[in-house]
């Protein structure tokens, strides 16, 4: 059966969904270099006597562990800085990475004497600390916010992010770049509601249905659609799926606007109460 040709440049073609703004990954060349440098000690180890071999292989292992901790610390700090309300990381990974970098370099320098080992250890730890800085050591934006509410909001947002990740993973199975860009745009467009809940955990009650029921349904629908579309390339199913994403985007946007409108209403009430109190006490200037 013949089919009508269609494509991006056809007269009735639908424009591709706009790609989300790319985000710079926090793990850059400096962090990746930390995984490369230890191999110099691993290679040199096989040209040493047994004691030197053990020292250099030990230095290799410690420096690789330091590099891993540093990478995890950089990722944790990026997540911390992206949120207006956040807890400090439970483990100061970058600080531990600096200490282990000093230990690894010190172990490698023992073959040249104790003095050289101490110098290498201090320089390594100091340079690591200067390059990557310390971990966040205090909570941010949590003054006056109940810790239990914050924990519930954080857990709900993490579950919502897990659902988004499952959607992206499922749609990749369809081998359709336009669909992948559409789901990426969907994720970018609904995340402002996540940030609104993180910034004020008291909003969780009003947004919980969106973060759990709606996103879980979207995830399940995406997984079923991806399997169907990979086999059949059903245009009708694709249109229905894209319509579902459009509807969910609108619902999430409306819910976020409603939450912000409630905040403005609360602020207006507080201002009006303050004005009335000033008037009763004769402190409000005339006019």
Q: pLDDT tens digits, residue range 90-143? A: 889 999 999 999 999 999 888 888 888 999 999 999 999 999 998 888 877 666
pLDDT given for residue 99 in this prediction: 94
Structure tokens at 163: 């659902």
Q: What is the mean pLDDT of residues 183-209?
A: 81
193: Cβ–Cβ under 8 A, 6 or more apart, which residues? 207, 210, 211, 252, 255, 256, 259
For residue 126, give both structure tokens. 């100091």
* Burial profile 86-105: b = 16 or more Cβ within 10 angstroms, e = fewer: bbbbeebbbbbbbbbbbbbb
Lowest mean pLDDT: which of 114-118, 129-133, 170-174, 254-258? Answer: 254-258
277: pLDDT strictly greater than 60: no
| pLDDT of 232 above 80 | yes
Burial class (CB in 10 A: 0-12, 13-18, 19+), 231: exposed
Instruction: Report pLDDT digits (tens) over 198-227.
Output: 777 777 777 888 888 888 888 888 888 888
Q: What is the pLDDT, as a whole number, of residue 104?
A: 93
Task: Indicate if the pLDDT at residue 151 is higher than 50.
Answer: yes
Q: Does 160 have pLDDT greater than 60?
A: yes
d(CA 67, CA 30): 10
Q: Which residue has the higher pLDDT, 280 or 36?
A: 36
Rounded average pLDDT over 17-21? 46
């Amino acid at each position: 059966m013949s089919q009508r040709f269609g494509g991006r440049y056809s007269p009735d073609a639908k424009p591709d969904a706009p790609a989300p703004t790319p985000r710079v990954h926090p793990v850059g060349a400096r962090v990746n270099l930390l995984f490369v440098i230890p191999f110099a000690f691993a290679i040199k180890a096989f040209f040493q006597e047994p004691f030197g071999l053990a020292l250099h292989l030990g230095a290799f292992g410690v420096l690789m562990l330091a590099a891993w901790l540093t990478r995890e610390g950089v990722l944790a700090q990026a997540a911390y800085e992206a949120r207006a309300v956040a807890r400090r990381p439970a483990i100061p990974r970058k600080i531990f990475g600096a200490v282990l970098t000093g230990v690894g370099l010190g172990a490698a320098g023992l073959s040249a004497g104790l003095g050289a080992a101490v110098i290498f250890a201090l320089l390594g730890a100091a340079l690591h600390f200067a390059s990557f800085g310390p971990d966040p050591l205090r909570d941010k934006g949590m003054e006056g916010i109940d810790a239990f509410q914050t924990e519930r909001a954080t857990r709900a947002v993490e579950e919502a992010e897990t659902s988004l990740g499952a959607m992206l993973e499922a749609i990749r199975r369809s081998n359709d770049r336009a669909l992948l860009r559409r789901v990426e745009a969907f994720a970018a467009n609904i995340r402002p509601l996540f940030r609104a809940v993180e910034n004020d955990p008291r909003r969780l009650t009003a947004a919980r249905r969106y973060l759990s029921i709606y996103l879980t349904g979207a995830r399940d629908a995406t997984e079923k659609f991806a399997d169907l579309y990979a086999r059949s390339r059903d245009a009708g199913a694709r249109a229905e799926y894209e319509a579902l994403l459009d509807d969910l985007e609108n619902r999430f946007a409306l819910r976020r606007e409603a939450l912000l409108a409630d905040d403005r209403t609360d602020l207006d009430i507080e201002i009006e109460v303050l004005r009335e109190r000033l008037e009763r006490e004769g402190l409000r200037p005339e006019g």
